[in-house]
Amino acid sequence: MTWVGAEPREQITEKFGRHVSSGKVKFYAAAGVDFILGKREGIYMYDVDEKRKLINCNSNGGVFNLGHRNPQVIAAVKEAMEELDIGTHHTVSEHRARLAERLAGISPGDINRMVFGVSGGEVIDAAIKLARGHTKRSGIVSAIGAYHGHTGFALPAGHEQYSKPFEPLVPGYTQIPFGDIEALDKAVDEKTAAVLLETIPATLGIVIPPEDYYAGVRSICDERGVVMIMDEVQTGLGRCGAYWGIDTYGVVPDVIVTAKGLSGGIYPITAALYRDELNAFLDENPFIHISTFGGPELGCYAALKVLDVLEKPGFLEHVREMADVFARGFATLKKKHPDILVEARQRGMMMGLKLMNEMCGPLMTVAGLDNGIFTVYANNDTSVNQILPPLIIQKEEALEVVDRLDAMLTWVEGKL
């Protein structure tokens, strides 16, 4: 059976608009974007009719850290399917226990406990519930322009464009400028349960905080008995050149939320990782947060294989080496395009190009489709073009991306 391209692209688009999202079809048509995902493999994604081949420099926010259809992850899930299904949340699970032990092994400090989920927003919710249950407080402090998902407790912590239509929201949320330790110091008080931050906020524009920022966050949280939650949905699992983005700042939070990349791009699975110190609340209330599909046992084996790859000698070193290749390439691009390229933002392979105005990000996305690159702009700062290729990218491929970015920048300059 043909799984890709079984119907003409016009028919696919019509059905998608009629049954899934008419708004997306209208948006893409207005932007002149005519791409339907078909075949995909490694760092590449193809249009449904295979007339267009793109290097994926979005990776769906880190879902495809190990590339599309990673053969090792696929093999692990196929093997697990010989004996397992998703399992049940009503019983003790051998397979969730194995994955939890492995995740604890790569986590900083005494983070060694897990709440599993099926989406990033779900485990952000779990982390907030844990913080409120632990502290008996309600306040949540997050960053202006943040993105933490679309679920109930996560929604008020993000940008108002996602939450305002659904007011009244869950109360108790305060937002401050990201990276501003003085603003955080003023916002955190005796009512605050948790500080929730993306280590490197992607949707805000790959903003890199000051090197001492998270040490300051940790100090404020310790001083006031507040839970420090790091949203590592995009920055975790090697993206920043370490197991967790927060590791590169030398700080141990109370909770780390992981999602996208844990799936290996094959089977959805997410988790909130937390310290022993926070466990009393869930120990006393073991059934207060459950997820029917959270931590599916088949997904555990996708995640275990992801960790096998991540922990393989040389893998993180490779990520750092490719980050250096991109850094040198970005410096060259800055010299060639000084009027349009304002800044290259980078922490490992969590990368973004800050451009001269808010029109540039969308234009770069359009330019990429004609230059063999799939990349998107930061929705809360459209002057930033996000660059998140799979971590398995090789040097010659990274250099090819830089060359294509050069051509894209030239095209955008002409449009402006």
d(CA 181, CA 378) in angstroms, rounded, equals 23
Would you give the distance in Å from CA 28 to the centre of its chain?
Answer: 23
What would the two tokens of residue 245 be? 């983005």
Q: In whole angstroms, what is the distance from residue 162 CA to residue 160 CA?
A: 5
Residue 289 to residue 138: CA distance in whole angstroms? 17
Per-residue confidence (pLDDT) for residue 257, from 0 to 100: 98
Burial class (CB in 10 A: 0-12, 13-18, 19+), 279: middle
The pLDDT of residue 154: 84
| pLDDT on residue 98 | 98
pLDDT confidence of residue 125: 97
**Which residue ranges make up each domain of the chain?**
92-310
Residue 167: predicted pLDDT: 81
- Give the single-character DSSP code of 68: B
SS3 state at 36: coil
> What string of DSSP letters covers 140-204?
EEEETT----SSTTTGGGS-HHHHGGGPSPPS-EEEE-TT-HHHHHHH--TTEEEEEEESS-TTT
Class of domain 92-310: alpha beta
Q: Check: CB of residue 376 under 8 Å from CB of residue 365.
A: yes
Structure tokens at 212: 């001492």
Residue 181 and residue 143 in contact, taking contact as beta carbons nearer than 8 Å: no
Residue 390: which of 68, 52, 73, 38 has the closest Cα? 68
Omega before residue 296 within 30° of 0, cis: no
**Amino acid 401: pLDDT:** 98
Instruction: Give strand pairing partners of 192.
Output: 139
What confidence tens digit (pLDDT) does each residue in 81-110 have? 999 999 999 999 999 999 999 999 999 999
Residue stretches of the chain with pLDDT short of 50: none
Angle, vertex CA 137, rays to CA 131 and CA 138, nearest 5: 85
**Taking the model in full, what pTM does it have?**
0.96
